[in-house]
Structure 1
Amino acid sequence: MKCPYCSSTNTNVLDSRPTEQDNSVRRRRECTACHARFTTYERVEYEPILVIKKDGSREAYSREKLLNGLFMATKKCPVSAEELDHFAARIERALRDEGRREITATELGQMVLTGLKKIDPVAYIRFASVYREFDSIDSFRAILAEFEEERNGNSD
């Protein structure tokens, strides 16, 4: 493993343990040259999942792209980066458990909305406004009314 600070290839593993999701191994390392400590994660490399976009084009699923969207939606919300990482891992695991090689952007967005609704209501509304392409105040009112109905137990 190459040191991210000095680029030396000589590092020692100080600690190694499975992550909570059990889909990766967390390793704490120390560079023998500059003595910097850093963390690495080792994950199984799966066959890529393709996201079918609204225009019909396909692109490789990107955990980083999903996390960036989640970080934007949860900005200034009491949601930790670790919680978002776990959420992204749950989505990936669900897709792999179903044997999915492709998913539409609409299905993926709905999975995110469903999860965000449980994590943080403000993040849910923010993500919905981008995902559903809100173009008016009425769009926000409608999603807020829907959210309130579900929260009050009046949903179908």
Structure 2
Amino acid sequence: NSVRRRRECLKCERRFTTYEYIERIPLLVVKKDGRREAFDRNKILSGIVKACEKRSISLKMMEDMVASIERSAMRKYEKEMPASVVGELVMEKLAAVDEVAYVRFASVYRQFKDVNQFMSELKDILGKDVKKEGKAIAAKPKVKSRR
């Protein structure tokens, strides 16, 4: 990923080649305790792979999720971003793809203190599914019979 240019010295008229690269400033993730570490797409992929274990989700789909998360992070944050945002982006992508993977990731990420918190999260997911199904049923076009 570079631009190659042939140039000529104005004094000695000698020709030479230069290469131009985009300088990438690393995005830092700010942890809960204030530590900073470089944004690591492999760490995100590892978490997604663990959440999607034994689910019918291809590695390509998981890599696409990571790429989308990385693009969102780079677009929205210039130098630093909170770790909580990374976790929320991952959960958003997993929720759209597979609810079981979402719950697995959320259970680790949100560090539920007890079963009640976990059940509350499950109820939220189930409530969203019921609403989706209701909208789908309501959105079905009514067909007039020809009699």
On whether the aligned pair clears a TM of 0.5, the verdict is yes
**Higher normalized strand content (fraction of residues):** 1
| Structure with greater Cα Rg | 2
Aligned counterpart in structure 1 of residue 91 of structure 2, from 86, 97, 113: 113
1:150 aligns with 2:125: no
TM-score by length of 1: 0.67
Is 1:47 matched up with 2:37?
Answer: no
- What is the aligned-residue identity percentage? 38
Q: Which runs of 5+ in 1 are unaligned?
A: 1-22, 24-43
Residue 76 of structure 2, aligned match among 91, 95, 98: 98
Deviation at 1:73, TM superposition (A): 0.5
Q: How much has 1:75 moved relative to structure 2?
A: 0.4
Q: CA deviation at 1:98?
A: 2.5
1:96: Cα distance to partner? 1.8
| Other structure's SS at 1:152 match | helix
Cα distance, 1:65 vs structure 2: 0.5
More contact order relative to length (CA 8 Å, sep ≥ 6): 2
| Alignment: residue pair count | 112
Q: What stretches of structure 2 of length at least 5 have no aligned partner?
A: 2-21, 133-147
Cα distance per residue 1:53-105 (max 9 Å; x no partner)? 01011111101100000011000011111101011001111122224321111
**Aligned Cα RMSD in Å?**
1.8
